[in-house]
Amino acid sequence: MVSGGASAGLSVGVSCAVALCAGAAAWLVVARDHGRWRADALLATPGGSRSVWWEKAGARVRQRLSGRWELLCLVAAAVVAVLGRSVLPLPAGAVAVPVVRRWLRRRARGRERERRAAGVVALCGAVVGELRAGHEPGRALLVAVRDTGALGAEEAAVSAAARFGGDVPAALRRAAREPGLEGLAGVAACWRVAADRGAGLAAGMDRLEGALRAEARGRAELRAQLAGAWSTVAVLALLPVLGLGLGAALGADPLRVLLHTPAGLACLATGGLLEAAGLRWAAGIVRAGEAA
C-alpha cells in the first residue's frame, strides 16, 4: 500500500515537473521580448495597445515554432500527464513527434511543389509577353526567369545557357527533374521545335501555358472535391478526444480509468491501434483518389 502511494506520488511529481518545464519553455518563447512589446504597446494608440501586444506575441510564437510545430505534441502529452496523474502520455508524445514531423514535412513539400508549378505557369506567360514585345528568345527567357524567380536553385544553369548561347532545352530538361518543375519539359520541347523547325516559339509557349493552367485548375478542383473526405478523416481522428471530454464533463474521470486500471490500459492500447489503423486506411483512400 505504501509502495503504491509512493509510486503514485512519484508519477504526479514527474508529471508536474514536465508540465513546469513545458510552461517555462512557453514563457521563454512568449515573454523573451516582453519589455520591448510592452514599450511598443504603450506607444501605440490606447484602443489598440492590447491587440498590438497579442499580435506581437502570436508572431513571436509562430517564429519560434516555425519548422518545429511537432514539439507541441510534447506539450499536449505533458498536459494530459498532469491531468491524468500518469507518466504514460509522455512516451506517447515522444513517439508522436517524428510521426507529426514527417506529416508536416510532406505537407510542406506538397505546398512547395504547387508553388513551383505555379511559377512555371508564370514563367511561360512572362516569356510569351517578352517575345511579343520584340525580344529575342534568349533575352526573353532571361528576363522571365529573373522576374518570376520560378526556377529556384536551377535558375543559374538555365540563365547561363540562355545568356551564353548554351543548350537551353537540355538545361530546362535538367531543371524539370525537380518536383514541381515538370512543366519545364514542355518549355524545352517548345524551344527545341522552334530552334529546329523555325516554328513560332510564342505560339507554342502560349498553348503550353494554357495547358498548364488547365492542369492546375484540375488539381484545384480535385482538392476541393476531396476536402470533404479530409474533413471526415479529421472528425474521425477527433472523436476519441471528444469522447474523453464528454466523459470528464459527466464526472466519469476517463483519464483515471484509462491510465490507472488494467482494463483501461487494455482499452487504451486497443483503441490507439484501431485509431491509427483507421486513420491510415482512410487517408490511404483519399490519397489514392488524389493520385488518380
Mean pLDDT score, 4-30:
47
> Which pLDDT value is given to residue 151?
80
Identity of residue 42: L
Is residue 13 in a domain? no
CA separation for the pair 32, 264 (Å, rounded): 42
pLDDT surpassing 70 at residue 57: no
- 172-186, 187-201, 252-266, range with the lowest pLDDT: 187-201
Exposure string of 214-249, with b = 16+ CB inside 10 Å and e = fewer, is eebeeeeeeeeeeeeeeeebeeeeeeeeeebeeeee
pLDDT value at 51 more than 80? no
Report whether pLDDT(118) > 60: yes
User: Per the domain annotation, does 66 fall within a domain?
Assistant: no
Position 197 confidence tier, pLDDT thresholds 50, 70, 90 = low
pLDDT score of 97 more than 70: yes
Share of the chain above pLDDT 70, in %: 75
Q: Establish if 160 belongs to a structural domain.
A: yes
CB 75 within 8 A of CB 26: yes
Residue 228 lies inside a defined structural domain of this protein: no
| Residue 178, pLDDT above cutoff 60 | yes
pLDDT tens per residue across span 269-280: 898 888 888 888
- Residue 171 pLDDT greater than 70, yes or no: yes
CA–CA distance, 10 with 22 (Å, rounded to integer): 18
pLDDT band at 31 (very low <50, low <70, confident <90, very high): very low
The boundaries of the domain holding residue 188 are 112-215
Q: Work out the pLDDT band at 139, boundaries 50, 70, 90.
A: confident
Q: What is the mean pLDDT of residues 27-39?
A: 46
Asked, for residue 211, whether it belongs to a domain, the answer is yes
Is residue 67 very low, low, confident or very high in pLDDT (cuts 50, 70, 90)?
A: low
Assigned domain for 260 exists: no
pLDDT band at 159 (very low <50, low <70, confident <90, very high): confident
Q: Is residue 120 part of a domain?
A: yes
Number of domains the chain contains: 1
Q: For residues 265 and 258, what is the distance between their CA atoms, to the nearest angstrom? A: 5
Question: Residue 81 pLDDT > 60, yes or no?
Answer: yes
Higher pLDDT, 256 or 154: 256
Beta-carbon contacts of 146 under 8 Å, excluding residues fewer than 6 positions away, are 159
Residue 58 lies in a domain: no
Give residue 7's pLDDT band: very low, low, confident or very high (50, 70, 90).
very low
Residues 6 or more apart whose Cβ sits within 8 Å of residue 115: 180
Return the minimum-mean-pLDDT range out of 33-37, 125-129, 153-157, 233-237.
33-37
Confidence band for 35, pLDDT divided at 50, 70 and 90: very low
Say what the pLDDT of residue 14 is. Answer: 45
